[in-house]
Homo-oligomer: A and B are copies of this chain.
Amino acid sequence: MLTISDRGRLMPPSPIRKLVPFAEAAKKKGLKVYHLNIGQPDIETPPSILDAVRNADIRVLEYSHSAGNESYRRKLVKYYASVGINVSPDQIIITTGGSEAIMFGFFACLNPGDEVIIPEPFYANYNGFAVAAGVKVVPITSNIDNGFALPPITEFEKVITDKTKAIVVCSPNNPTGYLYSPSEMEALKTICLKHHLYLFSDEAYREFCYSGEYYSAMHLPDMDEHVVLMDTISKRYSACGARLGAFVTKNKTVYEAAMKFAQARLSPPGLAQIMGEAAVDLPASYFDQPRSEYMERRDLLVKRLNAMPGVFCPNPGGAFYAMAKLPVEDSDHFCQWLLESFSHDNKTVMLAPATGFYGTPGLGRNEVRLAYVLNLKDLDEAMNCLEKALEVYPGKEG
């Protein structure tokens, strides 16, 4: 008998994409669907970085160095210095999106059966990389009622075993928008040093901080051996489709192990590296416009949500996501119902049910994630839809 692998069976399908067939059916019926379900921004990719590809003089599109073009890594050193991170080109591996950086970290540092602690709700694809690597995700719960602050050190220590090898953090956070404070980052440092853990830091949303300052895991002193930075240009320059990221660490042994995985896949995407290199030349002021745009959207979204009866949305400090508690029994059902059975002025809204972002079964059943990736007008319309929907939805709480 031909059988697929256990990990092939266990691999979770994308929770964000599982409602896609219902959205497609809604569109076929003629409905306009506002997509707040996925982190695909509508912000324009900077034309100059696309022009860099257009104007590149390429006779043969060759493999690059497995760590990425040295010229790009040198540029990234300048970029990282601009955000207070001091690294050298040989501490950077250019990756195929942030995804591959996560994969390299898991595969280079963790054995099958090892455990990683991740504050939940968390980016659902960490589950996928964990299954691929045979690693166990141990969630510790952060709570919507205090805006998803980092759980106290004691909560981490309750779940640390001799299999625990790493903590994964993402700040500003997907899906909560929470921005870890310097003292929370210090707490993570304390745990990692005491228990000899890696700190995998996903900083995809670094540029989008609204309440408080960005604080990188790489800013933590005495943590050089522990920190692995998993980065991407996807959100920074609204270039998700480029598939360009970076794996950054000062731990030489980890770097060398990751490099062997990088060599096996030969090189990261070549055209995207031209874009990435040009992006470092954008003026620092480039981020002002998207940041203020996102901030206005956040303010509108949070205000609209909290004005709806029974809805609670803590104010996210960064990224472009918000989590909201809704007065519904089952947000998976509600999100499907929005696409299948509801419309308002021939429109509806697509949200991501929060259950997919929790590792603990049963959590998040009355929560949704909203990505504020649409312009203010569309976002406002989407909120009109949600408001009307909650008025008529038959599966209300209690």
Contacts and interface: CB of A to CB of B under 8 A. Distances in A.
B66 A264 contact: no
Contact of A243 (B134, B241, B269): B269
Contact of A54 (B4, B53, B269): B53
Given A9-B257, A251-B2, A271-B269, A14 B263 contact: yes
A59 B40 contact: no
B13 A260 contact: yes
Interface stretch (A105-113, A307-315, A390-398): A105-113
Given A61-B242, A240-B62, A243-B96, A108 B257 contact: no
B266 A99 contact: yes
Nearest to A260: B11
A184 interface: no
Interface in A19-72: 38, 40-45, 50, 53-54, 58-64, 66
Interface in A107-131: 107-112, 114, 125, 128-129
A62 B237 CA distance: 11
**Majority-rule SS of A interface residues:** loop
B63 A6 contact: no
Nearest to A241: B270
A132 B61 CA distance: 28
Interface residues of A, number: 77
B238 A61 contact: yes
A42 B61 contact: no
Contact of A61 (B9, B60, B240): B240
Best-surrounded residue of A129, A197, A241 (most CB of chain B within 10 A): A241
Given A128-B264, A134-B134, A260-B12, A61 B66 contact: no
13 contacts: A2-B198, A4-B108, A8-B261, A9-B257, A13-B263, A125-B266, A128-B260, A128-B263, A132-B261, A241-B267, A241-B271, A269-B269, A269-B272
Interface of A: 1-2, 4-9, 11-14, 17, 38, 40-45, 50, 53-54, 58-64, 66, 96-97, 99-100, 103, 107-112, 114, 125, 128-129, 132, 134, 196-198, 225-226, 238-243, 251, 253-254, 257-258, 260-261, 263-272, 275
